[in-house]
Structure 1
Amino acid sequence: MTYGMSRLTGKKLTKHEHIGQSVTDILTTPVGTRVKRRAYGSNIFDLVDSPANPTGALQMIAATADAIARWEPRLELQKASVSATIDGKAVVSLTGIVKEDGEAVTYGVAIGGSS
C-alpha cells in the first residue's frame, strides 16, 4: 500500500518509508525556520556545537524524543542514541513502534557536517 511520495525521487513510499522520511524531515529542520509553521522541527541544531560527551548526547536524545512525540504521531519512540564523529557529524539512531500496525522500525538520521 502506498502512503506517500519520496521528496527526492517522486516514487511511491510504503508506510514505514514515509514515516522514515518524516522523521528525517523533522530532525533536520531547525525550529523557527518554517514559514507559517515556526514551531515545526527539532531543537537539535541548538546543540550542534555541544561537546561529544554523554551530556551532549543526552541533550540530543531529549531533543529528538520531544520532536518525534510532537510531530510524528504514527511513531512511538522506544529508543534513541547518538553517535558522533570527530569531523562534526552525528547520527541519531531511532527504534520505535508504528502505532497502526505494531511493527518495529529503525531509522538513522545524519545531523551536521557537510555531505
Structure 2
Amino acid sequence: MKTGTHRDTGAALGGVAYLRQRLSDVINTPLGSLVGRREFGSRMHELLDRNVNEAFHMNAYVLLAEAINNPANGLEDFKLKEMQIERLGDAHYGLTIMGFLDDGNPVTMEGLQYG
C-alpha cells in the first residue's frame, strides 16, 4: 500500500485511509481540469444532472472503473469489484466502493461523496 499526506492536516497517511483519500480526489476531479496533469481525474461529472435509474448506475460503474484503471490516477493498488451509488440531494451522490487491495485483501469504503 502507498503512503502519503493527509490533505487537511499534513500528517502521514497510509493504508486504506490513504486509498480512500486518493479515490475521493480522483472521483471529484474532472478529467482534464488540472493544467499540469490533464490525464488525472474522472468523468463522473458527466452524471451530475442525470436521472438516477438503471442506466445511471451502469454508467457510473463504467466511469468509476475507467478512472481506477487510468494509470495517471495512481490507483493500481486497488481493483474494483462492486459499487453502489445513491443520490443524496441535487448533484450530490454517496458511493460505497468494494474491491481488493494489491495484496488480495478485500476492502469496503462507505460514505465517499461526489458532487
Structure 2 unaligned segments of length 5 or more: list them.
none
Provide the TM-score with structure 2 as the length reference.
0.86
Q: Does 1:111 align with 2:108?
A: no
Q: Does 1:49 align with 2:77?
A: no
For residues 33 and 97 of structure 2, what CA distance do their matches in structure 1 show? 24
- Structure 1 equivalent of residue 11 of structure 2: 11
Any idea what the Cα deviations from partners look like across 1:88-109, whole Å, max 9, x if unmatched? 321121111110x222212232
- Superposition deviation, residue 85 in structure 1: 3.1
| Percentage of pairs with the same residue | 28
Provide the TM-score with structure 1 as the length reference.
0.86
From the two aligned structures, give the one with the greater strand fraction: 2
- Structure 2 equivalent of residue 78 of structure 1: 81
Runs of 4+ with >4 A deviation: none
For residues 2 and 32 of structure 1, what CA distance do their matches in structure 2 show? 24
Q: Does 1:27 align with 2:22?
A: no
Structure number with the bigger relative contact order (C-alpha 8 A, sep ≥ 6) is: 2
RMSD: 1.8
Q: Does the residue aligned with 2:35 lie in a helix, a strand or coil?
A: coil
Q: Does the residue aligned with 1:85 lie in a helix, a strand or coil?
A: strand
- Superposition deviation, residue 48 in structure 1: 0.6
